[in-house]
Amino acid sequence: MTAKSSQTSPSNDTPAAPSLTGQDGPARCPLAVQLQAQAQDAQPQLRMSQPRRCPSLLGRVCLYILAICSLGMGIVGVFVPGLPTTVFVLIAAWAAARSSPKLHNWLLQHTLFGPILRNWEAGGFVSAKAKRAAILTMLISVLVMLLAGVPHWALLLASGCMACVAVYLWRRPEPPAQE
């Protein structure tokens, strides 16, 4: 066995694929070469899945009512601090996708809710701006509860829930940059 220098590497910073002979020679596994080339050429692809529509009429009616009620709560949440907007709009979009394609398309095209919903449906993305706005709103809500004299147990419970939501939101991926 001969010792080869481990400092020789390909010009790109990716590790060499295993060779067909099992040695670090020029002959490399064709499948590994193909997969490496695909990985380098691949742009982040947004996945837009088609939701399954509820088969029963009663189920569609119930989901439509849920969508309308959730959308209403989301709109109220725009004006009331502490009431989440995004969660209700996501629920509304989920229910509308299974009950009313017309309402779902309207939500996706909406100027305020559309970008949020399209990012979420494309892969659970949350923009940095939305993360900052949500966390700032939660902090303001805690401040309002402190000033309003909310019982300590309620303040702790609400603050704990908001902290969990903040951590979850911050860990969500951000949408890929548009070219």
Mean pLDDT of 110-123: 88
Terminal CA-CA length for the chain: 50
State the DSSP string of 148-163. HT--HHHHHHHHHHHH
pLDDT of residue 85 exceeding 90: no
22 burial (CB, 10 Å; 0-12 / 13-18 / 19+) is exposed
| pLDDT confidence bin for 154, thresholds 50/70/90 | very high
Top mean-pLDDT range of 65-74, 79-88, 170-179: 65-74
What number of helices (H) and strands (E) belong to the chain? 7, 0
Mean pLDDT of 127-141: 87
DSSP bridge pairs for 19: 28
101-109 vs 114-123: helix crossing angle, rounded to 10: 110
The pLDDT value given to residue 11: 47
pLDDT digit string, tens, across residues 22-32: 444 444 555 55
CA–CA gap between residue 35 and residue 131 (Å, rounded)? 35
**What is the pTM for the complete model shown?**
0.59
Mean pLDDT of 45-74: 79
119 versus 44: the higher-pLDDT residue is 119
pLDDT of residue 121 exceeding 70: yes
